[in-house]
Amino acid sequence: MRVLELEVNGDRQEVAAPAHWSLLEVLRYRLGLTGSKQGCDKGDCGACTVLLEGQPVLACLTLAALCAGKRVTTIEGLMPAHLRAGGTGPDPVQAAFDRCGALQCGFCQPGMMLSARALLDANPSPSRAEIRAALAGNLCRCTGYTQILQAVELCIAEAAGSEPAAPAWAPGQNPWKAPCGNGDGRT
Amino acid sequence: MSARDVHGPAPPWSEGFRVVGRAQRKIDGLAKATGAALYTDDLVLPGMLHAKILRSTQAHARIRAIDAAAALALPGVHAVVTGRDMPVKYGVIPWTPDENALALDKVRFVGDEVAAVAAVDEDTANAALKLIRVDYEPLRAFLDPEEALATPEPQIHEQTPEQKAKEPRGNVSKHVRLEFGEVDAALAGSDVAVEGDYEFHGTTHTPIEPHCALAQYGADGVLTVWSSTQITHYVQKALARVLGLPEARVRVIQPCLGGAFGGKSDPFALEFVVAKLAMLTGRPVKCLWTREEVFYAHRGRHPMKLRYRTAAKRDGTLTAVDARILIDGGSYSSFGLVTTYYSGQLLTGPYHFPTYRFDSTRVFTNKPPCGPKRGHGSVQPRFAFEVQLDELAEKLGLDPLELRRRNFQGEHVKTVNGQRVTSNGFLQCLEAVERASRWKERRGRLGRGRGLGLAGSMYISGTNYPVYPNPMPQAGVQLKLDRSGLVTVFTGGNDIGQGSNTIARTIVAEELGLDPADVRVVAADTDLCPVDLGAYSSRVTFMVGNALIDACRKARAKLVTALAENWKVAPERIAFALGRATDRADPARSLDMRAVLQLAEARFDTLGETGAYNTPQLGGDYRGGTIGASPAYSFTAHVVEVTVDEETGRITVENCWIAHDCGRALNPMLVAGQIEGSAYMGIAEALLEDHGVNRFGLHRGPSLLDYRIPTSLDTPELHALIVESLDPEGPYGAKEAGEGPLHPSIPAISNAVHDAVGVRLRRLPFTPARVLAELRAARAEPRGARAAVLSAGGGEAC
């Protein structure tokens, strides 16, 4: 056992954990932050992606002991941070993933959304090719990535005040044109 | 079938749809987006132990003895179980119960489950597994289906001497031969015929969430199992059978599920193991599989070797289709009986076949067991047949799209194998992809190395064959309505990410005029929810949707009556929409739906309704005629655009246009997600994925690095085009969207490669090495020689 101090989602936490534990194990099994998912435990799938000092890392391959004193953001931290910053509702990335239907089974998406958040923090207007490249470490098995790309592009368009592109399945109408309310189920 | 089961595609009120047909956000979208959604491995119970499973190192062996004494003695270990603790066999198909929770007397593949340990943590459980000694007596292992077919002994599943004397079956799992019409006569009388061999490799589901189960056994004798399953009802039945408990004492709950695609539709060893260990230790027990274990547990796409002959008249009219299929089943039956039928039964659309024969044999091999993967049993024959149709078109000098159009079977027809096809939007699908891809201008004109390819398909929307025959409904639902304004839906349907709970909310909000946010769904908990058979065969929207309409119509009648009495107006004047009731004759008069629910609760007492759905009697009048019979069929057409690098042999799919007839799209955004996800998965099977074992029976690469599922960089631009044919029996005319759109991706790529570089890819996967080999062979052979080989055994020779 080793006691380690982390800053997780804005809170300073003291955690006692076996010395060989990964950051993912500490988050899931000590802190109860189960939003970070374990899909392979080998660094292949990206479902465990969290932000360490704002950069996406694979929590399953990151030794917890090496994160001492560092700032960790998990999926649970995005909405509170957005609210603290004066926003309403979830982080725009989370809202856009929801509005675009990108959350099918949802298991890969915490990692995917954190990768997307880090991308947009670094580059507010990436091209589709840049988005594809930034998300290439996060495997999704449900969506074929299309609605994920659309979600990131919706974030970009709304942040820039421009109109998002309409999807192929909605000819002649754009379901994402109007900003949508909070959880009323209607777009 | 009764009036209960059919509600027609149009709503019975005049204002049209207010919720259905719009891009509704998912009921669990924000919970998933914020990390609040709980999946099975996210659940922790006080005092919980962790289980790990010891797996066979042998492909085929008898177990002489298992010594677990040292494991049991390890500090922190609470219990060890082996096959002897759970000797009752089970299988998802009740006719073929050939599985044990843990191997009883022999193991049948590397990875077969042998023993399990419950310990204070995973590390201790893993250490204990290493202390278990298994004494194996190796048997001859079969890794090749042809060899297994030709070699009756040793049997992977041994028959008793009496069974063997009566009907020796060697290593055959299932054989089906069905002929409809006079195939040989039709072949002899045809103008042209094409014959060829095709090969489909193994692929697997690869949900990102590994399988997980958690069990708790109460002092009152009630067993509760939380499991990442898509079939709570069948898991409940299997647990009761194997553990010797009454079904009423077994509760199965499916928490949020991280993808399935058919890979979580069998009862699995870990569910029995955690249950038994919880019963033995008096503590909750959880088991989470590693990614490697998921690859070994498999139940994915069956490898198939397929020989097809297709004959036609000079104008392209099909006259006969003749198929012979060898199916590699792996080590257990799973759904294999159904797979064997589906390999033939689901080919008879969207084209008209006057005569048809198939002869399908599934054999056991000592490999991870195969089962149902998205497009169960019919993706492989569809690949072979749609490539062969292009070969036929080439021989006839016809545009492949025109050949398909000419053979369209039509709407409201009976197929050659006796299946009833109702709505059929295949022609509109063809038109949609033809237009979107600019097929006419671009096919054959993109220059060497670039090409367009087309394929079509059909798939079932549910099956009228419940896994165990019974006269009870296939889908049941319950509604609770109360004075708070909330309506709660209870459904046994499994939301596996496809969005079935969102569809339930959509239907109830539409029917009862509610704001969708005022409808919540409790699903897939066998204690709380009426029985539904689960998420397989693309059945949930169709069947649960119809059951919901049934329940809602009863509830709606009460709400209308209560309000009409209160307002003293005729019931016909009452309209409900989006949270408000209005008087059609006096639109200024309106009332919040919460108040309407209160009026109804006062008038009729506590409000609740049930609803149900069962399929009509369907299918051909012959043995197996109900397998593949569906209340409705979906149809799809794909065009893909590829580039082929002739230096490296690498195929790149640039674009994929997918037009899918899903009946009415209840939520077009979810339909598009299913279409895109299906096409992605098909393209991945064609180009990247290969699930196989080496000569020792070891998986060739049981990791997400070696088994290459596409990243965002590998996935082409997918263009989902929705075609709505409005089915007469689907809920508001809806059919399925989750499996059908996968089928044509694979043959369309082969056909596009032919357009690009002139070679036919008949063996999957389409690796660069195969492409290069085909290109070399094509260069080596004089023009026309290969076509001549293909026509041997064609029309005149038959």
Question: Per-residue DSSP letters for A85-154?
Answer: TT--SS-HHHHHHHHTT--SS-SSHHHHHHHHHHHHHH-SS--HHHHHHHTTTS--SSSTTHHHHHHHHH
Asked if residue B171 lies in contact with residue B152, where contact means CB atoms within 8 angstroms, the answer is yes
Residue A116 main-chain phi, psi, to 5 deg: -65, -40
Mean pLDDT, residues A103-109 taken together: 98
Stated as kind and residue range, the H or E segment containing B599 is: helix B593-604
E strands, B313-464, in order = 318-328, 356-363, 413-414, 420-421, 450-460
Among all residues of chain B, which has the CA nearest to that of A107? B258
Average pLDDT over residues B478-490: 98
**How large is the ipTM?**
0.96
Contact B464, B615 (CB under 8 A): yes
Residue A171, pLDDT score: 82
DSSP B425: -
Give the pLDDT confidence score for residue B3 in this predicted structure: 75
Per-residue pLDDT for B209 more than 80? Answer: yes
| B673, pLDDT greater than 70 | yes
The terminus-to-terminus CA distance of chain B in angstroms comes to 44
Nearest CA distance, A159 vs chain B (angstrom): 19
CB-CB neighbours of B642 under 10 Å: 29
Mean pLDDT, chain B, whole residue set: 96
**A-interface mutation test, from B20, B39, B208, B687, most A Cβ less than 10 A away:** B208
Give the helix/strand (H/E) hosting A3. Answer: strand A2-8
Q: Which residues pair with B199 in a beta bridge?
A: B305, B763
Q: Which two tokens stand for residue B531?
A: 């029985």
Chain A residues within an 8 Å CB radius of B720: 146, 167-169
Residue B414: both structure tokens together: 């009976």
Neighbours of B621 (CB within 10 A): 7
Q: Do A138 and B39 touch (CB under 8 A)?
A: no
Per-residue pLDDT reduced to its tens digit, A43-92: 999 999 999 999 999 999 999 999 999 999 999 999 999 999 999 999 99
* Chains A & B: contacts with CB separation below 8 Å: 221
Instruction: Please determine, for residue A145, whether its predicted confidence score (pLDDT) is greater than 60.
Output: yes
**Residue that wins the pLDDT comparison between B289 and A176:** B289
Q: Cis peptide leading into B154, omega within 30 of 0?
A: yes
- Residues B191/B639, Cβ–Cβ less than 8 Å: no
What is the pairing mode between strands B172-180 and B717-723? unpaired
- pLDDT at residue number B789: 44
For B572-596, give the DSSP string.
GGEEEETTEEEETTEEEEEEEHHHH
| Angle subtended at Cα B445 by Cα B443 and Cα B451, rounded to the nearest 5 degrees | 55
Element (H, E) at B381: helix B379-396
Residue of A nearest to B706 (CA): A44
Contact A78, A113 (CB under 8 A): yes
- Of A104-113, B294-303, B765-774, B776-785, least confident by mean pLDDT is B776-785
Each residue of B742-794: pLDDT tens digit? 999 999 999 999 999 999 999 999 999 999 999 999 999 765 555 544 443 33
Task: State yes or no: pLDDT of B795 exceeds 60.
Answer: no
Q: What does the block give as tokens for B573?
A: 């004047």
Reported pTM: 0.96
Reported confidence tier of residue A140, pLDDT bands at 50, 70, 90: very high
Report how far apart the first and last C-alpha atoms of chain A are (Å, whole number): 50
Give the DSSP letter of residue B374. S
* Alpha-carbon span B696 to B694, nearest angstrom: 5
Task: Give CA–CA dist B130/B509, Å, rounded.
Answer: 55
Q: Looking at residue B794, what is its pLDDT? A: 38
Which pLDDT score, from 0 to 100, does residue B8 have? 93
All residues of chain A having their beta carbon less than 8 Å from the beta carbon of residue B210 are: 38-40
Looking at chain A from residue 93 to 122, which residues have their Cβ under 8 Å from any Cβ of chain B? 94-95, 97-101, 103-110, 113
Sign of CA dihedral B496, B499, B500, B501: positive
The amino acid occupying position B129 is L
Bridge partners (DSSP) listed for residue A58 = A49
d(CA B216, CA B48): 9
Pick from A36, A144, A170: which is nearest to B718 by CB? A144
Categorise residue B666: left if φ over 0, alpha if ψ from -120 to 50, beta otherwise.
alpha
Report the pLDDT value the prediction gives residue B339, as an integer from 0 to 100: 98
Query: How many Å apart are CA B204 and CA B202, to the nearest integer?
Result: 7
pLDDT at B716 over 80: yes
Contact B194, B403 (CB under 8 A): no
| pLDDT confidence of residue A178 | 67
Residue indicated by tokens 């499991």: B227
In tens, the pLDDT along B71-119 reads 999 999 999 999 999 999 999 999 999 999 999 999 999 999 999 999 9
Q: Which residue has the higher pLDDT, B620 or B495?
A: B495
Q: What is the pLDDT of residue B448?
A: 96
Nearest C-alpha neighbor of B338 from the set B424, B262, B261: B262
Closest residue in chain B to residue A175, using alpha carbons only: B23
Dihedral sign computed on CA atoms, order B376, B377, B379, B382: negative
- Could you identify the residue written with the tokens 């204070």? B120
A9–chain B nearest CA distance, Å: 13
Kindly tell me if the per-residue pLDDT of A127 is higher than 90: yes
Q: How far is CA A143 from CA A96, A139, B286, B611, B635, in A?
A: 15, 10, 29, 32, 20
Task: Write down the pLDDT at residue A179.
Answer: 54
Residue B613, pLDDT > 80, answer yes
Distances (CA, A) of B745 to A124, B40, B432, B448, B681: 35, 33, 16, 22, 9
- At B790 the pLDDT is 45
Q: Identify the pLDDT of residue B2.
A: 75
Please tell me which residue of chain B has the smallest CA distance to A90: B34
A40 conformational bin, left if phi > 0, alpha if psi -120 to 50, beta if neither: alpha
Query: In what side-by-side order are the strands of the sheet with B519-523?
Result: B519-523, B487-491, B475-481, B607-613
d(CA B296, CA B290) in angstroms, rounded, equals 10
**Helix or strand run (H / E) with residue B310:** strand B304-312
Compute the nearest-CA separation of A88 from chain B (Å): 14
Single-letter amino acid code for the residue at B406: R
pLDDT one-digit tens code per residue, B630-654: 999 999 999 999 999 999 999 999 9
Is it the case that residue B396 has pLDDT exceeding 70? yes
Q: How many contiguous H segments (helices) and E segments (strands) does chain B have? A: 21, 28
Are B258 and B291 a contacting pair, CB within 8 Å? no
Confirm if B551 and B511 have CB atoms less than 8 A apart. no
Indicate the pLDDT class of residue A161, thresholds 50, 70 and 90: very high
Check whether B497 has a pLDDT greater than 80: yes
B190, B225 Cβ separation under 8 angstroms: no
Percent of residues, chain B, with pLDDT higher than 90: 96
pLDDT at residue B336 is higher than 90: yes
Containing H/E element for B54? Answer: strand B49-55
Tokens 């080496």 — which residue?
Answer: B694
Burial of B21 (0-12, 13-18, 19+ CB in 10 A): middle
Residue B481's Cβ-side half-sphere holds a number of Cα atoms within 13 Å equal to 28
Residues within 8 A of B (CB atoms), A 166-185 only: 167-170, 175, 180, 183-185
A59 touches chain B (CB under 8 A): no
Q: How many CB atoms lie within 10 A of CB B36?
A: 16
Contact (CB<8Å) A110/B41: no
Mean pLDDT for B203-220 is 98
Angle at B769 between CA B767 and CA B770, to 5 degrees: 70
Closest chain B residue to A149 measured between Cα atoms? B712
| Region for residue A154 given its phi and psi (left: phi exceeds 0; alpha: psi -120 to 50; beta: otherwise) | alpha
Tell which phi-psi region holds residue B181, choosing left (phi > 0), alpha (psi between -120 and 50) or beta.
Answer: left
DSSP 8-state symbol, B91: -
Q: Which of residues 140-169 of A touch B (CB under 8 A)?
A: 140-149, 167-169
